[in-house]
Structure 1
Amino acid sequence: MNPLLVTLDRLADFEEIVDVRTPLEYAEDHIPGALNAPVLSNEERVIVGTMYHRVSPFEATRVGAAMVAHNIARHLETTFADRPREWRPLIYCWRGGKRSGSMTTWFNLIGWRARQLDGGYKSWRRSVVDALATLPSAFRYNVLAGHTGSGKTRLLNALATAGAQTLDLEALAAHRGSLLGTLPGEPQPSQKAFDTALVTTLRGFDPKQPVFVEAESRRIGAIALPLALTDEIHRGACIQVDTAHDERIRLLLEDYGHLFDDADAFRAQLSKLTELHGRARIAEWHRLLDEGRRAELFEQLIDRHYDPAYARSTAKHFARLPDALRFAFRPTADDVPEQARRLLERAG
């Protein structure tokens, strides 16, 4: 076996992890904490790949080697110029091939004790997929159930501040989970990046302590939750978060008020509900939007869209909801942290 190759279980042995894939590959997903130092740019990888298929593998390898050598030299003069003699980096590419092998070889020739990840990113991705199928069952879940606008996310954040173990799936997915849940200026991560973040979060939990999580559907925007986690959450102990109707409207005005900043986009989102609610009702909602009657629009969305959808989906999927601990919550009040502490005392 190549003595420079190491397996995933050795990650903690290294001072730094270096991802030499292209910026696009790195952006889609990477090992947490890895530094991106590409040996081929996005464009260069396309050039080499095209040459491989249209010219010859030999020519592609020759041109690619020159590009890799140039980029490694540039990284040595910039990115890694301050690394000490004793530095121990772990280097990986897509599948543990020539890109990471080239940098590993040069680093060892310099005198650094560099090693190459056996199997590259693909081995990492395989470990994430395997963990998603088994890791969720290691924990017991306290599920915050409640209508849209009941403040479940605020309560979850307050529980975390109070010392509870919390899993904020909407934060990991950068989406609030409903049709109107897109966060302003914050795109959702790729599915692979979400999976990595989820596994990293779960691995940090204590199995002896409960995990508080919001009741979610299988999809959060464009992100799909792993089936094993969804099943465990559906089996979890439920906490019914009860919030007054007018309080829910106030919260929506605070948390979703940004939707009115782009009325055209908001109108387009509402139009996606035409099949469910009919043209007349959507036209009414468009009129309320155009007239700036925000509270009335949110009230209608609560009464005619969100609450019926909640009644259909939550009762169907959460078997322990009839036995839920009921918790009256005021999400816009000043004492949210104290309310969370009281819930922790009751939930155990």
Structure 2
Amino acid sequence: MSLTIVEAREAADRLGEFDSVIDARSPSEFAEDFLPGALNWPVLDDGERRLVGTLYKQVSALQARKVGAALVAKNVAQHIERHVADKPREWRPLVYCWRGGQRSGSLAWFLSQIGFRTFQLAGGYKAFRALVREDLEQLPARFDFRVLAGRTGSGKTRLLQALRDQGAQVLDLEALACHRGSVLGGLPDKPQPPQKRFDTLLWQALRALDPARPVFVESESQKVGSVRVPDALILRLREHGRCTVVEMAEDARVALLLEDYGFFAADPERFCRLIDGLVELRGRETVQRWQRQARAGAWSEVFAEMMREHYDPLYLRSMDKHFLHLAQAPCLVLRDGGTDNLQAAARELLSQA
């Protein structure tokens, strides 16, 4: 039997060596964020955790520990019955909770007593979170970012995917954020991750990149939907990223938007609710005109008008403010969003990298 305490940095560097990563926190804590690949084995569920906390505050620490110990013992037994029966002697789990205290300690002790070589994360998720925040401040400086700049609907995301298909290193912030980055950018039936989860996903993505090779990324605002891109990464993209301006004719851009946002045709009222948020910027009369067009099914017209009157001016102001040398950046013209065209453009970009 063996129980080993590991620090957050060592655990992060050795994640691939553990056969399982087990999060002993409650389901609501786990939903906010978790270590890469972690499984949730709650030692106390959300209701039990509230109960023990209430007893601790309103009755006594002793009573809280009595009740908590019984609940922990019951829950650990259930996890062992459900999840451990098929584990071989060589199974090596890493266990953690919020601060590396009693919840993960109880589960880790039982697993070590069975005979598994068990590891417990010192400082728990709190220590891991501190590590993620520290790394997100430092990691961006390692990379040579190639920034795809371009107006809404110009095919940047598809070009990024084509670059990945060609073997390029890609950082897809919109995919990590589950959002296309505009007022209409939420993906149907796919909610955005909480901020902490986004940070961890971004941390994983950055750690997987090779600093010796360029990294292609879209130009993004600091906020992608409800999540915020870390300051260090935004500054690195804006101050040191090498830009390429992606251009596409308006009719081709509208065609792409009709493909990417075609789901609004089944729910025009959702579209109308979302663009209510543009009243302050574009005026109620303009927004109501777009809403009438949407309800009438005139999607080509409404997307074309929104591009010209809202997205293009907004983009130009933002890019002029944040990318001071954009005027000198090379331009890549895409005929359309077709696969062959995108793959050819990706090969051209890679030949210049």
Matches within 5 A, 1:16-165: 16-165=20-169
- CA separation in 2, counterparts of 1:121 and 1:169? 24
1:293–1:65 CA distance, 2 compared to 1 (3 A): same
1:333 aligns with 2:335: no
Partner SS, residue 78 of structure 1: helix
In 2, are the aligned partners of 1:249 and 1:295 still within 8 Å (CA)?
A: yes
Q: Deviations over 1:244-265 (max 9, x none)?
A: 1100000000001112322222
2:256 alignment partner in structure 1: 251
Quote the sequence identity (%). Answer: 49
- List per-residue Cα deviations over 1:302-343 (Å, max 9, x = no partner): 010001101110111012211211101134224122221122
1:67 deviates by: 0.6
Pairs within 5 Å for 1:308-347: 308-335=313-340, 336-346=342-352
The verdict on how the C-alpha distance between 1:302 and 1:238 changes in structure 2, with shifts beyond 3 A counting, is same
Displacement of 1:14: 2.7
Once the two structures are superposed, what CA deviation does each residue of 1:150-178 show, in whole Å capped at 9, x if it has no partner?
01000000001101111000000000000
SS of the residue aligned with 1:155?
helix
Equivalent AA in structure 2 for residue 345 of structure 1: S
State the partner residue of 1:229.
Answer: 233
Q: Could you tell me whether the CA contact under 8 Å between 1:167 and 1:211 is conserved in 2? A: yes
Name which of 160, 175, 183 aligns with 1:171.
175
Q: Which runs of 4+ in 1 moved over 3 A?
A: none
Q: TM-score, normalised by structure 2?
A: 0.95
Quick one: distance in 2 between partners of 1:256 and 1:247?
14
Taking the aligned partners of 1:112 and 1:334, their CA distance within structure 2 comes to 51
Distance 2:133 2:288 in 1: 44
Aligned to 1:302: 307
Task: Verify the 8 A CA contact 1:154 1:331 in the aligned structure 2.
Answer: no
SS in 2 for 1:273: helix
From 268, 281, 285, the counterpart of 1:263: 268
For structure 1, which runs of at least 5 residues remain unmatched after alignment? none
Aligned residue type for 2:295:
D
Residue identity opposite 2:174 in structure 1: E
Aligned to 1:6: 6
Q: In structure 2, list runs of 5 or more residues that go unmatched.
A: none
Task: Report the AA paired with residue 98 of structure 1.
Answer: Q
> Could you tell me how far apart the structure 1 residues matched to 2:166 and 2:113 are?
51
What's the offset of the Cα at 1:218? Answer: 0.5
Matched, 1:272 2:277: yes
- 1:10 Cα shift? 3.5
Question: Match of 2:199?
Answer: 195
Instruction: Indicate if the aligned counterparts of 1:237 and 1:320 stay in contact, CA closer than 8 A.
Output: no
State the distance in 2 between where 1:213 and 1:331 align.
20
User: 2:343 & 2:267 partners in 1: Cα distance?
Assistant: 33
> Normalization by structure 1: what TM-score?
0.97
Q: CA offsets per residue over residues 157-200 of structure 1, 9 Å max, x none? A: 00011011110000000000001100000000010011011111
CA contact under 8 A between 1:22 and 1:42: conserved in structure 2? yes
Aligned partners of 1:177, 1:233: CA distance in 2, in Å? Answer: 16
Q: Which 10-residue stretch deviates more, 206-215 or 10-19?
A: 10-19
Do the aligned partners of residues 82 and 149 (structure 1) sit closer, same or farther apart at CA in structure 2, a change above 3 Å counting? same
Contact kept, 8 Å, 2:26 with 2:45, in 1: the verdict is: yes
Q: Is the 8 A contact 2:246 2:334 kept in 1?
A: yes
